[in-house]
Structure formats: structure tokens, C-alpha cells
Amino acid sequence: MKMDHYPKSSPMFLTLLSLLFASFLYLWITTSSSTSNPLYCLQRNSETPAVAAVPAPRDDLELALSKASMANRTVIITIVNRAYADPGADVDGGATLLDLFVRSLWLGEGTRGLLDHVVVVAMDRAAYRMCRFRRLNCYRLETEGVDFRGEKVYMSEDFIRMMWRRTAFLGDVLRRGYNFIFTDTDVMWLRNPFTKLSKNESEDLQISTDVFNGDPRSEDNFINTGFYFVRSNNKTVELFDEWYSRRENATGKKEQDVLLDLIHEGAFKRLNLSVRFLDTLFFSGFCEDSKDMKEVTTVHANCCRSITAKVFDLTAVLQDWKRFKWSRKKMVAVNGTAVSVRWTNHLGCWQAWRVRGNRNKDN
């Protein structure tokens, strides 16, 4: 049938012309590439918006760290085993050190939000279950052939092995590019420590002391590795590598003793590390109590041997803290001055030393 038989104004002609145009347009759209066809680009963009490429976390540790990380890649890390986390591990079945640690963050000033940045590293399955039960950010640290479940008596072989495993793990965190505060679980956070730590990014390491000699730069301070803030850089990674490499020739020494040896050998100066030793006025412990509750930031149950003693005396610390906050809030005054609140004597820890007949210090 010839098209000439139909007048150009007839309905049949217009219908055929429309069909031909639609067919041509369809073929053009479906066969043209995205680079040459703007309609195709518009169609694709409306259906599948571009998504920024974000590298997937490599493993469970990276997941836990990225979840807890602050904007500047800083996290808070504490490490527990069953004895520290499971109330069933003790005959009394009362509060655990992990319970007290979390409670301190709840009771402290400016500390509740910090719990979102804590990674609880569990050394065994029971500790991991207890951590998950508390709905914390948990990571299971696997160690083949070693049982870290029970209480590790201070300076026992298992205790020393666990401290070295901790050092290796923390070195791995540094190599992943994360700054961190490491805190023992027997450290009570009464105020936000970041307000007392130096914000100067040239400070590589800020570490607590058992007894502070008054000079934050003095390498004669007796360090305590139960609380420190370290920035991730080549110098600190090298320090942790060298520190861990000394374990084979450190029989009878815990990792804290070996780090102290490195300091006395000049490792901090050799690695060009900027190190600040923390004042016990702010970062205190049972070895040397803070003299001012208006300034204290953390309280560490150092110089104490057993978990039972630590729980007993740290419970008293939190009671002292609540009494201090209550007295300040109520503005109770005697002779024009606020009522003084003092630390309760650490009777549990003192008694533990007498029972054990051992004068060594604990972490």
C-alpha cells in the first residue's frame, strides 16, 4: 500500500507518521551509550544515585574500632576476662570490675557520652558474652592455646602472659591508625579525662604514674600502664614493636617493668618521642590518692592485689564520689565552708597485702 494514496492531512497518515517517529525514538534511546545520550544519563541518575566509595572494614576488630571512633580516629579501649566481667566467676556473685567501670562513666561528670567510644576487648568467650549482655561495643580477642578466663594472680606466669598479649594487641590498634586511651577496667572515670590531657598533637604519649614527682617531663616518674593516651604515628608504632620484642628476654618481668627499662635506656629520646607523665592530682590511684576531689579525673585501683579487694574498695570510691557530688549540690556548709569529703581508706587492698604477705605493687 502506498502512502501517496492517503492525503497528508488524513487520520491514517498522521497515525503512521506517529508510529514511525516513536519507533525511531525508542531505538535511539536504547542503543545509544550513556556518554552520547543525555536522556539515558538522566534516566540512570534518577534511578541509581551515585554513592561515595567507602572501604569495607577488614575484620571484626576494624568494625569495633570504626564503630567507637571519634571524628579524629580516637577510641577508648579496656580489656577484660571472665574474672573481670562475669558475676558468676566469684562466689559472692556481686558487682564485677566491668560493672563498676561502666557505673563510673554513668556517675562521672561529662563521661556518659564517652561510653559510645569504648571498645571492650574480651579475652575469652564468657567475658565476650557478658559484654554483649551489657550491650557494649565488644570485640573477642582470640589467643590459641591459652586460657585467660580466671583471675590471674599478680605477677604469676599467666598474668605476665596476659599483659604481653595486651601489648601486642594495642600495637596492632596503633598500626591501624587509631589513637587511643587504654584504661584498665579497675579505673574509675569520674570526669572526662580529655579535659586534663594535653590537646597538643605533638604529644605522642601521656601516661599515668603510681607516684608523681612534680615534673610532667621527668623520666624518673614511676609509670603505670593501666591508663595512658597514645597517638598513632611511626614513632609510637616503633615504640610498641620494640617494647613487645623484649618479652623473650624479660623473664619474671611484666610489660610495665620492661617499658620502664626502655625509658631508663633512653628509648623515648632515641625515638624522639614527646612524653608527658600525668599528675596524680588528676589521674590518681590507691598508690597515691588525689588530694582534691574538685580536680580528680580518674581513680585507679593500683597497689592492690586481688579482684575481690579492688571491687570492695572501688565500690567505696564511687560512694565517696556520690557523697561529694551530693554535698556540693546541696551546698552544705560548716563555718562558711563546704563540708569536706575524704576518700575512704582502701581497707580491702591493705588487707589483701597482709593476707598474701607480698609488698609488690599491682597494676
In a domain, residue 18? The reply is yes
Same domain, 218 and 309: yes
Whether residues 14 and 42 fall in one domain: yes
Residue range of the domain that includes 42: 3-47
**d(C-alpha 284, C-alpha 297), whole Å:** 8
pTM for the structure as a whole: 0.79
Q: For the residues 295-304, what does the mean pLDDT come to?
A: 97
* Domain co-membership, 232 together with 299: yes
- Model confidence pLDDT, tens digit, residues 177-205: 999 999 999 999 999 999 999 999 999 99
Number of domains in the chain: 2
- What are the CA-CA distances from residue 165 to residues 64, 172, 267, 320 (Å)? 19, 11, 21, 34
Cα 328 from chain centre: 31
Q: Do 24 and 64 belong together in one domain?
A: no
pLDDT digits (tens, 9 = 90+) for 235-280: 999 999 999 999 888 777 888 999 999 999 999 999 999 999 999 9
Asked if the structure places residue 52 within a domain, the reply is no
CATH number of the structural domain spanning residue 337: 3.90.550.10
Residue 54 lies in a domain: no
Is the domain of 119 the same as that of 220? yes
> Quick one: 73 and 8 in the same domain?
no
User: Are 36 and 115 found together in one domain?
Assistant: no
Please check whether residues 165 and 259 belong to one and the same domain: yes
